[in-house]
């Protein structure tokens, strides 16, 4: 395996007896003799001995063998070493994993690499007077001209992190604070002063790749008098691969994967934001590509590093032997985890508003009867029914009452009157409540649920405002006969359109500074994605530039978020687990099985999808499937897929006494037979069409009415008052409240059960309170005292109660408090003469983070919770803390939660 990997990377592998150092630029000699015995491979470049490879069996943990490899380096024959430090490159490899160390680095440390470096690379490094990591410790002072304070902090701290050889670093900068300008500044300094050869910049979507490339091209490094593009080559990565002369390569991670694997990439796959892919996707695996060696990039910058980099695309990032820098406005816990909690600079949105980098916002809430409760159309009415694919409409007479819920709006039911009611309320409030004294409609962006919804909204906007086509435009990837990029430029720079409707294209990254209003006609479950969408309105603009597109505007001092769906109130999923999620689209799953995918998860998933689809289609579609398959319906197709992975069914096809290879071949044959049904492109096309052809009913009967619109302070007051009343009435009844009110007969600690009991009581009549709603109500009434957002944990309820009781002057998540309390506790421990090892501290930090979410820790948590089980569980904890463990858990609970 290692022979093959070395050969793939450009090395000639020879035995000791057949050694010919002139046969090529790089030669790896097996079983080369040293004073300590034979080393598995000695590496020669340009006939010079330069390093070693120590080989171990696959599956072996490698870190312990670095010393052995270093000993071989030290004991190489003296007559082969012409100068100090010549034999410096050390690899420890098992075929499935490889560690690399350059002994010329300051404080050399091993790091994982995807494959071996090419001989030409090692020869080049031998000729350099200092290594890249040594050069990072000798950077000249930063020229701060034209840099904001937050950009100065980010660049300086990133360079310090790189000089310390930290492999990953994260920068949090609010949307609009100039992340790309910061990246360009860092890139120039690393290329000019640290000898970096090439840098990869990963953007979230294709149009952001174009925007980033343009920003790099326009950047003017201070003191040079030239643009960046006059000094260095900037490439937008395409199908042709990496330009050998490019120093900056800008791409989506999907494009990098495509180039690495040689698989064609549909442009649509680059156009949607990965923030939308809530469910994740199947992990992309890559193998070594000789035309793109692992040393192709010295630095990878990933902008808006959403969670797909931790699962779906992680191996693409791991491929390159490069530092990784993350830029984000909205870091999650898993983002911090991926970057090793090396958060080198923070510039949150609140600070950016204070500094004048961004503007603040206000929420204007619109509630309508149908939007809140849905509606019922009585039997006997004729309703239009639209085909999703063709948009053709037919009329259907209702034979029974048709009821729909609010969450069906604009997905399976379109209610033009509901959309119209929201837009009319916005229109009527524009110059009285939202922008008093103005008469021009401000630049407005509306977020729709999908392309069909966006189409409906554009039509209604034009009608509600009594304007022509130029007034309102749809800007999505499916704009027929128009260039979306040109539409964005027009929306940004021209008087018209005044209102744009989008789904995803302007949701992240795209800079439209004159925007003053965002209307949400869709909910968003991801907190990170919601923050990105809000950021579209936060950009500052000079009064002169604003008046070029909105003549009656004096200045942009804030933007208005018009919430018509409860997006500002709904509980959001801030982050997802790091482990892989295999959910993919129906169409892609069928195509992957047709292309040869044979894992059990794929068969089981497709079987479930087909069975569910069978319950939804009509007889006409069912008959079409039977005709194409020659007699099989969807249930039969699903059954055959399940049979192919069912052990009991497979047992009838495989003889128990058969050798294991024969059994595997027989099982594989059953899978191939089941999958062969999907070889027929007609069947795949029919199944996709049947799946996509769900009808949308259009309710033109129900009329909608506004329930409420405005800043919603009255509702917030009502929520807070009900919560206060709940506490007064339940303080002697609920155990958690007894503890929090310090009743003498209360238990010592809060527990999961007692706080969960309180949460259930809150949700029951007559209270009907959700903790997240209470939190937001306090924020609306006293925003200066409320910091952060609730995470939907039990700890949130505890913090709410303490704030309502007056025990806390401000309301903030427990997680933001425990760090300070924990550090104070550590200080007291040190004064008491108790010190902790690095491993003990890591455990204590894990206990701290567990308490910040769960407000209690039990012995069974140490055994079962993933964050502890992965560290060795109870056995390891007892080994580290001994008999003091139970008292330690109690003490930390008291210190951090009480």
In this structure, are residues 875 and 859 in contact, taking their beta carbons and an 8 Å threshold?
Answer: no
Average pLDDT over residues 563-582: 50
Does 227 score more than 60 pLDDT? yes
Q: Binning pLDDT at 50, 70 and 90, where does residue 280 land?
A: very low
Average pLDDT over residues 510-517: 85
Does 53 score more than 90 pLDDT? yes
Tell me whether residue 22 is exposed, middle or buried, using C-beta atoms within 10 angstroms of its C-beta: 0 to 12, 13 to 18, 19 or more.
exposed
Output the pLDDT for position 306: 57
State how far the Cα of 349 lies from the Cα of 328, in Å rounded to an integer: 11
3-state secondary structure of 257: helix
By mean pLDDT, which of 85-89, 179-183, 565-569, 878-882 is the weakest?
Answer: 565-569
In this structure, are residues 207 and 484 in contact, taking their beta carbons and an 8 Å threshold?
Answer: yes
Nearest-CA neighbor of 173 among 51, 38, 348?
348
Structure tokens belonging to residue 272: 């949607």
Report pLDDT digits (tens) over 521-535.
887 766 667 777 877
Output the pLDDT for position 388: 56
Q: Where are the alpha helices (DSSP H) in 21-137?
A: 66-74, 119-127, 132-135
Whether omega for the bond prior to residue 766 falls within 30 degrees of 0, making it cis, is yes
Average pLDDT over residues 201-226: 89
- 141 or 555: which carries more pLDDT confidence? 141
In this structure, are residues 439 and 431 in contact, taking their beta carbons and an 8 Å threshold?
Answer: yes
Structure tokens belonging to residue 357: 């980098």
Output the pLDDT for position 599: 82
Please, which residues have CB within 8 angstroms of residue 796's CB and are 6 or more apart in sequence? 771, 772, 775, 790, 813, 814
Average pLDDT over residues 594-605: 82
Does 389 score more than 60 pLDDT? no
Does 577 score more than 50 pLDDT? no
Query: Are β-strands 168-173 and 343-347 bridged in parallel, bridged antiparallel, or unpaired?
Result: parallel
State how far the Cα of 890 lies from the Cα of 768, in Å rounded to an integer: 34
In this structure, are residues 114 and 294 in contact, taking their beta carbons and an 8 Å threshold?
Answer: yes
Structure tokens belonging to residue 211: 């925007």
Q: Binning pLDDT at 50, 70 and 90, where does residue 278 land?
A: very low
- 705 or 473: which carries more pLDDT confidence? 473
State how far the Cα of 703 lies from the Cα of 514, in Å rounded to an integer: 34
Does 192 score more than 70 pLDDT? yes
Nearest-CA neighbor of 802 among 814, 790, 816?
814
State how far the Cα of 688 lies from the Cα of 249, in Å rounded to an integer: 37
| Model pTM score | 0.60
Structure tokens belonging to residue 885: 């463990």
3-state secondary structure of 107: coil
CA 587 from chain center: how many Å? 23
Structure tokens belonging to residue 795: 């700890």
Average pLDDT over residues 378-397: 67
Can you state the angle between helices 838-854 and 873-881, rounded to 10 degrees?
120
Q: Binning pLDDT at 50, 70 and 90, where does residue 508 land?
A: low
The domain 1-127: what is its CATH number?
3.90.1570.30
CA distances (Å), origin 448, targets 18, 298, 501, 503:
69, 40, 7, 5
CA distances (Å), origin 872, targets 220, 509, 845, 850, 869:
52, 42, 15, 16, 5
Does 218 score more than 80 pLDDT? yes
Output the pLDDT for position 430: 92
Q: Binning pLDDT at 50, 70 and 90, where does residue 41 land?
A: very high
Output the pLDDT for position 612: 59
Please, which residues have CB within 8 angstroms of residue 783's CB and are 6 or more apart in sequence? none
Element spanning 651, H or E? helix 647-651
Q: Rounded to 5 degrees, what are φ and ψ at 301?
A: -105, 120
Does 475 score more than 80 pLDDT? yes
Does 254 score more than 50 pLDDT? yes
User: What sign does the dihedral 640-646-652-657 (CA atoms) show?
Assistant: positive
3-state secondary structure of 811: strand
Average pLDDT over residues 244-271: 86
Does 571 score more than 60 pLDDT? no
State how far the Cα of 507 lies from the Cα of 530, in Å rounded to an integer: 9
Does 667 score more than 90 pLDDT? no
Cα Rg of the chain, angstroms: 31
DSSP state of 283: P
In this structure, are residues 194 and 187 in contact, taking their beta carbons and an 8 Å threshold?
Answer: no
Output the pLDDT for position 854: 79
Structure tokens belonging to residue 692: 């996509």
CA 638 from chain center: how many Å? 33
DSSP state of 675: H
By mean pLDDT, which of 240-249, 376-385, 473-482, 571-580 is the weakest?
Answer: 571-580
Residue whose tokens read 């999908």: 450
Structure tokens belonging to residue 620: 């006409």
State how far the Cα of 366 lies from the Cα of 561, in Å rounded to an integer: 11
Output the pLDDT for position 775: 84
Nearest-CA neighbor of 875 among 862, 892, 889?
862
In this structure, are residues 332 and 307 in contact, taking their beta carbons and an 8 Å threshold?
Answer: yes
Cα angle value 334/340/341 (rounded, 5°): 75
By mean pLDDT, which of 144-148, 506-510, 639-643, 844-848 is the weakest?
Answer: 506-510
CA 769 from chain center: how many Å? 31
- Assigned fold of 134-355: Rossmann fold (3.40.50)
Does 507 score more than 70 pLDDT? no
Whether omega for the bond prior to residue 497 falls within 30 degrees of 0, making it cis, is yes
Does 583 score more than 60 pLDDT? no
Output the pLDDT for position 585: 73
Report pLDDT digits (tens) over 706-758.
655 555 577 778 888 888 899 888 888 887 777 777 665 445 577 778 888 88
Output the pLDDT for position 572: 47
Output the pLDDT for position 573: 39
Average pLDDT over residues 405-428: 75
Give the CATH class of 360-374+409-563: alpha beta
Output the pLDDT for position 574: 36
Give the DSSP per-residue string, 212-251: HHHHHHH---TTT-S-HHHHS-EEE-BTTB--TT-SEEEE
Average pLDDT over residues 642-658: 70
Q: Rounded to 5 degrees, what are φ and ψ at 807?
A: -75, -20
pLDDT cut 90: percent of the chain above it? 32
Query: How many other C-beta atoms are found inside a 10 Å radius of the C-beta of residue 141?
Result: 6
Q: How many helices (H) and strands (E) does the chain have?
A: 37, 27
Considering 314-328, 525-539, 564-578, the range whose residues carry the highest mean pLDDT is: 314-328
Considering 496-500, 509-513, 539-543, the range whose residues carry the highest mean pLDDT is: 496-500
Tell me whether residue 833 is exposed, middle or buried, using C-beta atoms within 10 angstroms of its C-beta: 0 to 12, 13 to 18, 19 or more.
exposed
State how far the Cα of 28 lies from the Cα of 68, in Å rounded to an integer: 18
When the pLDDT of each residue in the chain is averaged and rounded to a whole number, the result is 82
- 617 or 847: which carries more pLDDT confidence? 847
CA distances (Å), origin 889, targets 279, 844, 846:
36, 9, 12
User: What sign does the dihedral 81-82-83-89 (CA atoms) show?
Assistant: negative
State how far the Cα of 255 lies from the Cα of 264, in Å rounded to an integer: 9
Does 443 score more than 90 pLDDT? yes
Q: Looking at the DSSP assignment, which residues form a beta bridge with residue 169?
A: 325
Average pLDDT over residues 237-248: 91
Output the pLDDT for position 350: 67
DSSP state of 786: B
Average pLDDT over residues 759-771: 79
By mean pLDDT, which of 361-370, 735-744, 887-896 is the weakest?
Answer: 735-744
Does 211 score more than 50 pLDDT? yes
Nearest-CA neighbor of 674 among 715, 695, 646?
646
Average pLDDT over residues 681-702: 68
pLDDT cut 70: percent of the chain above it? 84
Can you state the angle between helices 794-805 and 752-763, rounded to 10 degrees?
70
Q: Binning pLDDT at 50, 70 and 90, where does residue 294 land?
A: very high
Structure tokens belonging to residue 544: 């002169």
Considering 189-193, 210-214, 272-276, 385-389, the range whose residues carry the highest mean pLDDT is: 189-193
Does 481 score more than 60 pLDDT? no
Average pLDDT over residues 100-105: 96
Output the pLDDT for position 656: 61
State how far the Cα of 258 lies from the Cα of 104, in Å rounded to an integer: 35
Tell me whether residue 216 is exposed, middle or buried, using C-beta atoms within 10 angstroms of its C-beta: 0 to 12, 13 to 18, 19 or more.
buried
Output the pLDDT for position 404: 62
């Amino acid at each position: 395996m290692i022979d093959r990997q070395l050969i793939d990377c450009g090395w000639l592998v020879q035995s000791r007896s057949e050694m010919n150092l002139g046969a090529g630029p790089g030669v790896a000699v097996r079983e080369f003799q040293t004073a300590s015995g034979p080393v598995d491979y000695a590496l020669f470049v340009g006939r010079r001995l330069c390093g070693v490879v120590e080989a171990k069996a696959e599956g072996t943990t490698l870190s312990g063998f670095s010393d052995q490899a270093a000993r071989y380096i030290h004991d190489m024959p003296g007559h082969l070493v012409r100068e100090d430090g010549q034999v410096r490159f050390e690899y420890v490899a098992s075929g499935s994993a490889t560690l690399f160390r350059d002994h010329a680095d300051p404080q050399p440390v091993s790091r994982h690499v995807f494959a071996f470096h090419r001989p030409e690379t090692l020869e080049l490094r031998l000729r350099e007077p200092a290594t890249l990591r040594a050069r990072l410790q000798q950077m000249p002072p930063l020229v701060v001209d034209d840099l904001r304070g937050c950009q100065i902090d980010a660049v300086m701290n990133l360079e310090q992190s790189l000089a310390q050889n930290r492999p990953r670093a994260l920068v949090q900068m609010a949307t609009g604070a100039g992340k790309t300008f910061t990246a360009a500044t860092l890139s120039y300094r690393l290329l000019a002063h640290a000898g970096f050869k090439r840098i990869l910049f990963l953007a979230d979507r294709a149009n952001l790749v174009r925007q980033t490339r343009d920003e790099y091209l326009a950047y003017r490094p201070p003191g040079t008098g030239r643009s960046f593009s006059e000094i260095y080559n900037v490439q937008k990565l395409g199908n042709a691969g990496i330009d050998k002369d490019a120093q900056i390569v800008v791409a989506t991670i999907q494009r990098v994967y495509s180039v690495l694997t040689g698989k064609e990439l549909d442009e649509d796959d680059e156009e949607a934001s990965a923030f939308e892919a809530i469910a994740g996707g199947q992990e992309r695996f890559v193998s070594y590509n000789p035309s793109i060696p692992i040393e192709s990039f010295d630095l990878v910058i990933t902008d808006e590093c959403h969670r797909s980099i931790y699962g779906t695309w992680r191996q693409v990032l791991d491929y390159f032997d490069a530092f990784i820098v993350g830029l984000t406005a909205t870091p999650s816990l898993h983002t911090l985890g991926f970057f090793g909690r090396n958060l080198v600079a923070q510039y949150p949105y609140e600070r950016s508003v204070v500094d004048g980098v961004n503007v603040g916002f206000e929420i204007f809430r619109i509630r309508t009867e149908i939007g809140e409760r849905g509606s019922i159309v009585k039997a006997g009415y004729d309703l239009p029914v639209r085909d999703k694919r063709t948009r053709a409409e037919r009329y259907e007479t209702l034979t029974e009452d048709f009821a729909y819920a609010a969450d069906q709006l604009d997905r399976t039911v379109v209610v033009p009157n509901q959309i119209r009611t929201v837009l009319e309320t916005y229109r009527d409030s524009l110059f009285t409540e939202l922008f008093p004294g103005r008469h021009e409609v401000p630049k407005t962006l509306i977020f729709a649920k999908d392309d069909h919804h966006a189409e409906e909204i554009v039509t209604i906007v034009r009608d509600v405002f009594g304007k022509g086509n130029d007034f309102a435009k749809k800007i999505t990837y499916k704009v027929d006969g128009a260039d979306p990029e040109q539409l964005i430029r027009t929306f940004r720079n021209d008087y018209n359109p005044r209102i744009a409707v989008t789904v995803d294209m302007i949701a992240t990254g795209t800079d439209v500074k004159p925007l003053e209003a965002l209307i949400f006609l869709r909910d968003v479950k991801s907190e990170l994605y919601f923050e990105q969408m809000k950021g579209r309105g936060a950009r500052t603009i000079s009064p002169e530039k604003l008046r070029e597109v909105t003549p009656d505007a004096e200045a942009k001092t804030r933007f208005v978020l018009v919430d018509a769906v409860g997006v500002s109130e709904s509980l959001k999923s801030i982050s997802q687990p790091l482990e892989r999620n295999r959910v993919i689209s129906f169409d892609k799953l069928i195509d992957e099985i047709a292309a040869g995918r044979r894992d059990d998860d794929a068969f089981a998933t497709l079987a479930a999808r087909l069975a569910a689809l069978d319950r939804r289609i009509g007889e006409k579609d069912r008959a079409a499937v039977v005709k194409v398959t020659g007699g099989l319906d969807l249930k039969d197709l699903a059954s055959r897929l399940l049979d192919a992975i069912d052990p009991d069914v497979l047992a009838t096809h495989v003889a128990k006494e058969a050798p294991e290879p024969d059994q595997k071949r027989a099982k594989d044959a059953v899978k191939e037979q089941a999958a062969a049904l999907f070889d027929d492109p007609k069947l795949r096309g029919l199944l996709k069409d049947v799946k996509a052809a769900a009808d949308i009913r259009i309710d033109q009967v129900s009329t909608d009415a506004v329930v409420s619109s405005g800043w919603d302070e009255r509702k917030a007051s009502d929520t807070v008052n009900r919560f206060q009343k709940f506490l007064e009435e339940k303080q002697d009844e609920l155990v958690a409240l007894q503890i929090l009110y310090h009743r003498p007969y209360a238990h010592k600690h809060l527990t999961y059960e007692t706080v969960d009991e309180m949460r259930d009581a809150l949700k029951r009549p007559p209270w009907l309170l959700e903790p997240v709603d209470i939190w937001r109500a306090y924020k609306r009434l006293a925003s200066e005292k409320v910091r952060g957002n609730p995470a939907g944990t039990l700890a949130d309820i505890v913090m709410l109660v303490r704030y309502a009781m007056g025990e806390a002057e401000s309301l903030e998540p427990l997680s933001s408090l425990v760090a300070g309390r924990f550090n104070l506790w550590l200080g007291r421990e040190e004064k008491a003469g108790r010190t902790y090892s690095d491993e003990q501290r890591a455990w204590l930090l894990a206990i701290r983070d567990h308490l910040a979410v769960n407000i209690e820790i039990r012995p069974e948590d140490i055994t079962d919770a993933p964050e502890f089980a992965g560290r060795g569980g109870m056995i390891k904890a007892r080994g580290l803390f001994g008999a003091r463990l139970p008292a330690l858990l109690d003490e930390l609970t008291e210190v951090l939660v009480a």
